[in-house]
Amino acid sequence: MIRKETKASILVVEDEESLREALKLNLELEGYEVTTVDNGPGVLKVVKNEYFDLIILDIMLPDMDGITVCETIRMQHNDVPIMFLSARNTSADKVEGLKKGGDDYLTKPFNLEELLLRVQKLIVKNKKIHDPHAVPDVYTFEGGKIDFAAHECVDHNGGKQELSKKEAALLKLLIEHEGQVVSREHILQIVWGYNVYPTTRTIDNFILNFRKYFEADSRNPKHFHSVRGIGYKFTA
């Protein structure tokens, strides 16, 4: 099994600079990859383009309040865990936050250690949800056979091929999500470990190779499909 030692990524949304920087610092000390934003509309933009394991969202933002931001994110079918931060600690506020799609609600001032623990729990749970099904060391499908332990595969002609590290990792990821589309962001997050990417054609090149290995007609792939605007999909 390939261990993922990629950092979990957190988006911190907080307009007050000192708190924002303090959060960033402490989360980074815990080993998280932290992005910060100080306004509502900015969140929506950045959430559309990047993958996050958790969003820490201040409710009181100058332009667009956090609840609305959360609602909007949820309306776009994004299930990223969201932790609300707020100075308001009435039950009504908490209930509203949780109802509108928040996963946790902390009141300011908060205890740092508690926040870090809750952050950790939310991230671990979510990872478990997305943690895909186990793939055997030797995976056989119509297009060939892949031996993840030996880092080699048998292509569609029966020829043997060595698999490089990244090739194996990407293959495994796609096979783990067999039948489902895996977004480019997710691929980069898991296989490469970065979050933002310049318009890179790197992933495409790997897919091209897979198609060479496993597809009889690489122009009309039966196993490695691209889903325009989203990512790639493997089907057996």
C-alpha 230/C-alpha 64 separation (Å) is 28
Distances (CA, A) of 31 to 34, 57, 152: 9, 19, 33
Tell whether omega for the bond before 41 is within 30 degrees of 0, i.e. cis.
no
Instruction: Verify binding: residue 77, DNA, rule CB under 7 A.
Output: no
**Residue 17 or 87: which CB sits closer to a second copy?**
87
Shortest separation between residue 151's beta carbon and a second copy, angstroms: 5
CA 15 to chain centre: 25
Among DNA, a second copy, none, partner that 29 touches (CB below 5 to 8 angstroms by kind): none
Interface pick for a second copy out of 20, 24, 118, 223 (rule CB under 8 A): 118
**Burial environment of residue 145 by CB neighbours within 10 A (0 to 12, 13 to 18, 19 or more):** middle
151: left (phi over 0), alpha (psi -120 to 50) or beta: left
**Residue 21 or 114: which CB sits closer to a second copy?**
114
Instruction: Verify binding: residue 222, a second copy, rule CB under 8 A.
Output: no
Residue 66 near residue 58, CB atoms below 8 Å: yes
Interface pick for DNA out of 89, 90, 164, 180 (rule CB under 7 A): 164
Instruction: Verify binding: residue 2, DNA, rule CB under 7 A.
Output: no
Whose CA is closest to 147, among 134, 156, 160? 160
Residue 139 near residue 148, CB atoms below 8 Å: yes
Piece in contact with a second copy (CB under 8 A), picked from 5-13, 26-34, 96-104, 202-210? 96-104
Residues within the interface to a second copy (CB under 8 A): 44, 75-77, 91, 94-95, 98-99, 103-104, 111, 113-114, 117-118, 121, 125-126, 128-129, 132-133, 147, 149-151, 162, 164-165, 169, 172, 179-181, 190, 194, 225, 227-230, 233, 235
- Binding footprint of DNA on the chain (CB under 7 A): 162, 164-167, 184, 192, 198-202, 204-205, 207-208, 211, 218-219, 226-231
